[in-house]
Structure 1
Amino acid sequence: MNDQSAARPRGRVLTWALWGAAAIGVAAVVYIIAQATTKPAPQAPVAASGAVPTASETHDVARKLEHTADGTAPPAYAFVDSAGKKVTPADFKGKVVVMNLWATWCAPCKIEMPTLAKLAKAYEGKPVAVVAVSIDKAEALEQAKAFLAQQAPLAFYNDPEAKLPWALKPAANGMPTTIILGKDGLERGRISGEADWSGAGARSVIDKLLAAG
């Protein structure tokens, strides 16, 4: 047998191997396409009633409340009030605290801030503190103060080093983040993202914590 005749079987084996690999590749592509076309499309969130939630329901505090760190003490991290005095979350012990981390560059923060002001107004004279802590840098402080004065009359607090979101355990998952503390000074829930603090859901959460003593 010469070299040419010996090469023919090897050539045929290689050809069949290549065709087999191509067939497997085509089959894989067909399978992926079939899966994509038969996989159900993602469904919109469904409310308890079975209907798609409205915009107000999507931002309802009671619906959005997370309990990832309930019963833990907030960090002993100091931020400052409008006079530059150092303040820590522990200074508000004895009150139900709604501590909101926000910034002027955060559009959802600015949208929800007036609802936090309405919450504070609704609980005037009661042991409830809405503590809005801006993480704006020095160059934006006047803008942040002006925004609160015009759109959401709340006491101004600032974290000049913007470290409070990272001091939380677990760390804040973006802006805005709101931590709710009971009168015992321990975390009792948190919300990541925008929420409507003027609705019945927020009042139900606050009232429950007030009644807890």
Structure 2
Amino acid sequence: MSGSRKAIWAVVGALVLFSTLAGAGGLAMSLYANHRQKAQPQTTPVAKSDLARFAVGPLASLETPTELKTAPEYMFRDRNGTAVRFSTFEGKVVVVNLWAMWCAPCRTEMPTLAQLARSYQRNEDLIVLPINVDASPDALADARSFIDVHEPLPLYSDLKFQLPFEFPGKGKMPQTIFLDREGRIRATFSGEADWNSPEAHALIDALLAEGAPPAGATPPA
């Protein structure tokens, strides 16, 4: 082979090698880009309830579900031992508070629940509903004595200690749940809070305003 042909074939070989390397590099870059795209977490905007605006200050950890579920048709009992269900209070806004004597934060926040009940005592559309979940008759007797010094709070009980697991808090104590007039779970809070705070009042007022009859309206006969 002449010197000129060798030179030509050397150039062709170099071009083929360069083209091969360039193609492999492009493929590698493409695979890397695809991997990065798949590896990066997909950020989907989290839907929030319109009540999420009240998750501020002492209520910063308030949960406001967008999927509205009706309160469980679970039976608990009033002071006299009569069976009660949440559907009994339909048409009212209900502040459910699950508490026990062995739960120190439950006892600490109880005076604020009593203050809340007194603040809305003239509004028949709000029910403050503390439900004791101590699991023995003796503990329930202690709970009765305790709640009696926090007027005007009533005594309700669940000796099976099941209700804390029926709500989104799944056993957390204390646990406070806000039900709207249709008996739906609109907000939940796990832990101690000041339930007579301006933030709590604002949340309750918003729920009371939903479905409330217009001012001056005459109730149906």
TM-score (normalised: structure 1)? 0.68
- 1:159 maps onto 2:155 in alignment: no
In percent, how many aligned pairs have the same letter? 42
Partner of 2:181: 183
Runs of 4+ in structure 1 off by over 3 angstroms are none
Q: Secondary structure at the match of 2:107?
A: helix
User: Aligned partners of 1:143 and 1:76: how far apart in 2?
Assistant: 27
Q: Provide the secondary structure at the position in 1 that maps to 2:94.
A: strand
Letter in structure 2 aligned against 1:124: Q
Asked if structure 1 preserves the Cα contact closer than 8 Å seen for 2:130 and 2:154, the reply is yes
Cα RMSD after superposing both structures: 1.6
The 1-side partners of 2:185 and 2:174 are apart by 17
Contact 2:178 2:186 in 1 (8 A): yes
Gaps of 5+ in 2: 1-55, 212-221
SS in 2 for 1:64: coil
Change (3 A) 1:129 1:70: farther
1:26-105 alignment to 2 at 5 Å?
Answer: 60-61=58-59, 63-68=60-65, 70-105=67-102
Which one has a bigger Cα radius of gyration? 2
Contact 2:105 2:192 in 1 (8 A): yes
The verdict on how the C-alpha distance between 1:69 and 1:143 changes in structure 2, with shifts beyond 3 A counting, is farther
Hey, what's the Cα distance between the residues in 1 that align with 2:171 and 2:203?
21
Q: 1:71 to 1:204 in 2, by over 3 A?
A: same
Structure 1: tracts of 5 or more residues without a match: 1-56
Q: 1:69 to 1:165 in 2, by over 3 A?
A: farther
TM-score, scaled to structure 2 = 0.66
- Give the whole-Å Cα distance in 2 for the aligned partners of 1:98 and 1:70: 19
Which one-letter code corresponds to 1:159 in the other structure?
Answer: D
Distance, in Å, in 1 between the alignment partners of 2:185 and 2:67 is 5
Assess if the C-alpha contact under 8 Å between 2:165 and 2:171 holds in 1: no
By relative contact order (CA 8 Å, sep 6+), the higher-ranking structure is: 1
**Are 2:140 and 1:141 aligned?**
yes
